[in-house]
């Protein structure tokens, strides 16, 4: 449970923003940032820096773009020397030009999210980040659907062509079991020799915490979580639960409890995340959660919202067609 190499990354604002189109107030983001810093967490991810060519500024909130002036409003007066600030770029929705030189930014870490098929784009963005003075990671999404040969080639390419700090196993569909996590960590270790391995788990089948622990035991040192599990669809490994497992004296969970009660719990009246039958079905069938999210968004008076068997059979048929 204790390794000095372990780093905890809180992704509440970034991953949670997938449930409300990144429309958090500056006050909420500032309060989350302040609490995470006070807790001693290593890195806090405050949103995306994706291109405004891909996302409408009228539809999406500030944290889909993380403009420098907005980030400075968040950190003003409370920037921590211990907690680094991260933002994420999607390999297929971001451009290198949106990243300033490190000396002109409050950001410390740029995390590049990618599908295996877009690994060349991800490497370009990650190298742009490290050349400009940032730490960087590459997070391989939807890993449960990646072809083994393609994944092997991508990992070898990342090891050879980048200076990223960590490479991530991302269980986007929440479909992995602990045995799968063992398999992927071992595979990453086979190719990744000079970088850390990270895990980012979703909770469709209620295994995000367990799979994060499995990753720790197997040797992953970069660990993602979100406050109260707030994240896309079924949510993520809860940060506060992860800290309780690690039992590292450098972490203090008490500030997290304060901000969860004041900022996160009120969001449960506006946003629905966490365990549900549609998310469970999608996760157990290794399907993208979007169909489940669409079902969950139906009004309560729509009978199709609770047609779970019909939903299961529809996804099963689609899986057979794949």
| pLDDT over threshold 70, residue 262 | yes
23, two tokens: 């429309």
Q: Please tell me the distance from the alpha carbon of residue 41 to that of residue 9, in angstroms, as a whole number.
A: 7
Find residue 114's DSSP bridge partners: 140
Task: With CA atoms as reference, report the closest residue to 141 among 15, 320, 19, 256.
Answer: 15
| pLDDT over threshold 80, residue 321 | no
Q: Give 320 or 232, the one with higher predicted confidence.
A: 232
Helix axes 277-284, 308-321, angle to 10 degrees: 20
DSSP assignment letter at 48? E
Task: With CA atoms as reference, report the closest residue to 244 among 259, 230, 223, 271.
Answer: 223
Q: State the first-to-last Cα distance of the chain, in angstroms, to the nearest integer.
A: 41
228, two tokens: 């109260």
Q: Please tell me the distance from the alpha carbon of residue 286 to that of residue 142, in angstroms, as a whole number.
A: 9
The length of the chain, given as a count of residues: 322
**77-129 residue pLDDT tens:** 997 889 999 999 999 999 999 999 999 999 999 999 999 999 999 999 999 99
DSSP assignments along 80-134, one per residue? -SSSEEEEEEETTT--GGGPPPGGG-S--EEEEEE-GGGHHHHHHHHHHHHHTT-
| pLDDT over threshold 90, residue 322 | no
Q: Determine the number of helices (DSSP H) and then strands (DSSP E) in the chain.
A: 12, 8
| pLDDT over threshold 90, residue 243 | yes
DSSP assignments along 242-291, one per residue? HHHHH--TT---HHHHHHIIIIIGGGGGT---S--HHHHHHHHTT--THH
Domain coordinates of the chain in residue numbers?
7-269, 277-321
Q: Please tell me the distance from the alpha carbon of residue 322 to that of residue 319, in angstroms, as a whole number.
A: 5
| pLDDT over threshold 90, residue 8 | yes
Contact 116, 146 (CB under 8 A): yes
Tell me which of 6-10, 78-82, 227-231, 249-253 is least confident.
78-82
**128-187 residue pLDDT tens:** 999 999 999 999 999 999 999 999 999 999 999 999 999 999 999 999 999 999 999 999
Predicted structure pTM score: 0.95
Contact 251, 39 (CB under 8 A): yes
| pLDDT over threshold 70, residue 220 | yes
Residue 160's SS3 state is helix
Q: Please tell me the distance from the alpha carbon of residue 56 to that of residue 41, in angstroms, as a whole number.
A: 32
| pLDDT over threshold 80, residue 320 | no
Share of the chain above pLDDT 70, in %: 99
Q: What is the mean pLDDT of residues 21-32?
A: 98
Contact 21, 232 (CB under 8 A): no
288, two tokens: 């993208």
CATH numeric code, 7-269: 3.20.20.70
Q: What is the pLDDT of residue 1?
A: 58
Q: What is the pLDDT of residue 2?
A: 75
Q: What is the pLDDT of residue 147?
A: 96
């Amino acid at each position: 449970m204790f390794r000095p190499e372990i780093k905890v990354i809180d992704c509440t604002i970034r991953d949670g923003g997938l449930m409300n189109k990144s429309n958090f107030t500056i006050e909420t983001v500032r309060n989350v940032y302040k609490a995470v810093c006070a807790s001693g967490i290593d890195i806090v991810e405050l949103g995306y820096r994706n291109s405004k060519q891909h996302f409408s500024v009228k539809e999406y909130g500030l944290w889909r773009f993380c403009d420098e002036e907005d980030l400075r409003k968040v950190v003003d007066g409370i920037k921590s020397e211990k907690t680094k600030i991260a933002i994420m770029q999607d390999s297929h929705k971001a451009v290198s030009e949106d990243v300033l030189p490190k000396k002109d930014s409050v950001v410390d870490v740029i995390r590049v999210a990618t599908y295996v098929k877009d690994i060349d784009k991800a490497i370009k963005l990650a190298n742009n980040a490290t050349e400009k003075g940032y730490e960087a990671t590459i997070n391989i999404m939807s890993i449960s659907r990646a072809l083994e040969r393609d994944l092997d080639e991508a990992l070898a390419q990342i090891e050879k062509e980048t200076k990223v700090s960590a490479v991530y196993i991302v269980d986007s569909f929440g479909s992995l079991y602990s045995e799968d996590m063992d398999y992927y960590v071992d595979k990453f270790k086979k190719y990744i020799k000079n970088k850390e391995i990270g895990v980012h788990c979703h909770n469709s089948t209620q295994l995000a915490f367990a799979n994060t622990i499995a990753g720790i035991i197997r040797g992953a040192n970069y660990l993602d979580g979100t406050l109260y599990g707030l994240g896309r669809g079924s949510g993520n490994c809860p940060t506060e639960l992860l800290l309780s497992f690690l039992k590292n004296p450098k972490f203090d969970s008490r500030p997290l409890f304060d901000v969860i009660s004041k900022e996160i719990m009120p969001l449960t009246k506006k946003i629905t995340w966490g365990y549900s039958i549609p998310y469970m079905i999608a996760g157990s069938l290794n399907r993208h959660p979007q169909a489940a999210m669409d079902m969950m968004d139906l009004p309560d008076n729509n009978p199709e919202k609770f047609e779970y068997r019909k939903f299961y059979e529809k996804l099963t048929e689609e899986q057979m067609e794949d």
